Chains A and B, each alone.
Chain A
């Protein structure tokens, strides 16, 4: 297995992080963190609570200014950009926040239209509404979800609506922050399949933060493990298990990890 910061052969990097350092006051969250995400892959990011998965995401998308380090997304340097410069990159990615972060005063369809209106104000209403509708369908929601307000949706539907909004601008890169947390196992499995299907259909690159072992097995091409303030390894599950790190062993070989692996193998052979 190659070190986390290095680009594997045959890979076009979409995100590269080098020497990242983040801290809040005395508490250092990341120290000398390296990571590369390849075009067209689904990279799962795992780590115990408080290892800074969300902080890493926030640094990459520019919501958190790191103390040190370089971050490059889609070939553009992200650190120290002004709002205007960052706008061009923001157009090319979509983000699903952990709790959906839907605008509560707008309907689902209007939520999906927000980014489109912002960047392409000349698209006329009938076409705009149709675009919102097929994005909502693409997110796996029934057609009658369009005119509903976020407060009328269940947890799973909020995530799907958030995904539809993340897909609004036909992004090249999709960030998902714990997309299956709070969903029942059936809804979570359906969401996993949805993400996998969208990735194959639209050729997306997906950066996926998760705790869900089933998601890791069924969806992710590679997995990055955050521990000890850095990415300690990137690779497939067998590659990671070859690393003799206690957290990795505990995580994938613990009772939950083993049952997830078993059910995945059963599914693959059946």
Chain B
């Protein structure tokens, strides 16, 4: 559409860029390329155009600004459009300045350390606030919110039975099947029962339950409390005189702490059931023998270990979930990232603590 003329005879006049038709955003890339290809001094002839939008005007304007081009043949409307876009000529910046060098890496590392440190201190503070809240409730039992706690029991505990039962049942089968394959090499299939019994009761039952509760309830705690932070519900509570720790955090903590051992016990039973089914169908060991063997091989301490670990894990999950929820500030995007943090943190802490417990219980002789 553009017609380019070189006025060779006239010394110093340079190229003329004559455009016909439209100069608009749809032709912006082409127009700019054609202009860039022309030598200085440049004259832009607008006499044949019938429509120009602000992007077209901007291209003409910047050519005049940067290369001192001359514009001829512009109508009154076009001149005023050129003037108008000129008014909006401001320094161009698209992204914030971010130095990408060694210092930036150091700064990021420092910021990460500082943030981790303050998170840990904050977690400790939150733990303290929870204890104080708990103390207040014990001193004035009237402030205990029975309805809220019972409702959390339902959500955290009862409603998790199905998924945790199914998961543990399948894990029981998998442990039994894998164990049987390996032990068969030594002709010791019967020890599959030892494997199922000890691993599910001592470790897997409670650990898998903790992971499921972290994913199911820990995330929900963070998201619920975080959303309430954003909608200023928590602020409203405070101004009315209701302590958010007592109303929101304590019921969740209690629910997670008390429901975890029950769920873990349920998980053990279903895992043992799943393993028993496999052992019966695949190895031909009848259920009665299976139960008898379980009684012989699982020491009572295994169950104690699991039932001691479970409430601690539940508490950690609720603590991380509620704490991250309370940290939410500003926009809804933060609810998502804080929820992720809550789940990652609680699962990580649960596994670390599980290792600590394993060492501890071994060293006190509960083998």
Q: Name A residues whose Cβ lies closer than 8 Å to a Cβ of B.
A: 104, 107, 109-110, 113, 116, 119-120, 122-124, 127, 129-138, 143-144, 146-149, 151, 169-170, 201-202
Contacts and interface: CB of A to CB of B under 8 A. Distances in A.
Contacts of B26: 120
B90 interface: yes
Contacts of B95: 107, 109-110, 147
Task: Give the residue among B30, B91, B93 with the most A Cβ atoms within 10 A.
Answer: B93
Interface pairs A-B: 3 shortest CB-CB: A122-B29, A137-B88, A143-B90
B13 to A, nearest CB: 26
B94 A109 contact: yes
B93 A116 contact: no
A129 B29 contact: no
A129 B24 contact: no
A146 B96 CA distance: 8
B32 interface: yes
Contact of A147 (B81, B96, B330): B96
Given A170-B53, A170-B54, A134 B94 contact: no
B94 A132 contact: yes
B155 interface: no
A130 B26 CA distance: 16
Contacts of B331: 104, 151
Interface string B98-135: 00000000000000000000000000000000000000
B85 interface: yes
A217 to B, nearest CB: 26
Nearest to A140: B88
B58 interface: yes
Given A104-B333, A134-B85, A123 B94 contact: no
Contact of A133 (B30, B55, B81, B90): B90
A173 to B, nearest CB: 14
B93 A120 contact: no
Contacts of A170: 24-25, 53-55
A114 B95 CA distance: 14
Given A104-B331, A120-B29, A127-B32, A138 B94 contact: no
Contacts of A148: 96
Given A130-B58, A138-B88, A123 B93 contact: no
Given A130-B62, A151-B331, A107 B29 contact: no
B92 A130 contact: yes
A113 B96 CA distance: 15
Interface size range of chain B in the complex = 20 to 34
Given A104-B331, A138-B88, A170-B53, A144 B93 contact: yes
B59 interface: yes
B28 interface: yes
A133 B92 contact: yes
Interface string B26-37: 101110100000
B84 interface: yes
Contact of A127 (B28, B53, B84, B94): B28
Nearest to B98: A147
Contacts of B59: 127
27 contacts: A107-B94, A110-B95, A119-B25, A123-B29, A123-B32, A124-B32, A129-B92, A131-B28, A131-B58, A132-B92, A132-B94, A133-B88, A133-B90, A133-B91, A133-B94, A134-B85, A134-B89, A134-B90, A137-B90, A138-B54, A146-B94, A147-B95, A147-B96, A147-B97, A169-B25, A170-B24, A170-B55
Given A107-B95, A170-B54, 19 more contacts: A109-B93, A110-B95, A120-B26, A120-B29, A122-B29, A127-B32, A130-B58, A130-B92, A134-B58, A134-B85, A136-B90, A137-B87, A137-B89, A137-B90, A143-B90, A147-B95, A147-B96, A170-B55, A201-B84
Contact of A151 (B62, B85, B90, B330): B330
A138 B53 CA distance: 14
A131 B59 CA distance: 9
A116 B25 contact: yes
Interface string B50-83: 0001110011001000000000000000000100
Contacts of B96: 107, 147-149
Contacts of B25: 116, 119-120, 169-170
A210 to B, nearest CB: 25
Contacts of B90: 133-134, 136-137, 143
Interface string B1-36: 000000000000000000000001110111010000
B96 to A, nearest CB: 4
Contact of B93 (A113, A122, A133): A133
A136 B95 CA distance: 14
A165 B62 CA distance: 21
A201 B88 CA distance: 13
A137 B91 CA distance: 10
B93 A147 contact: yes
Contacts of A132: 92, 94
Nearest to A143: B90
A144 B93 CA distance: 7
Contacts of A133: 88, 90-94
Nearest to B333: A104
Contacts of B85: 134
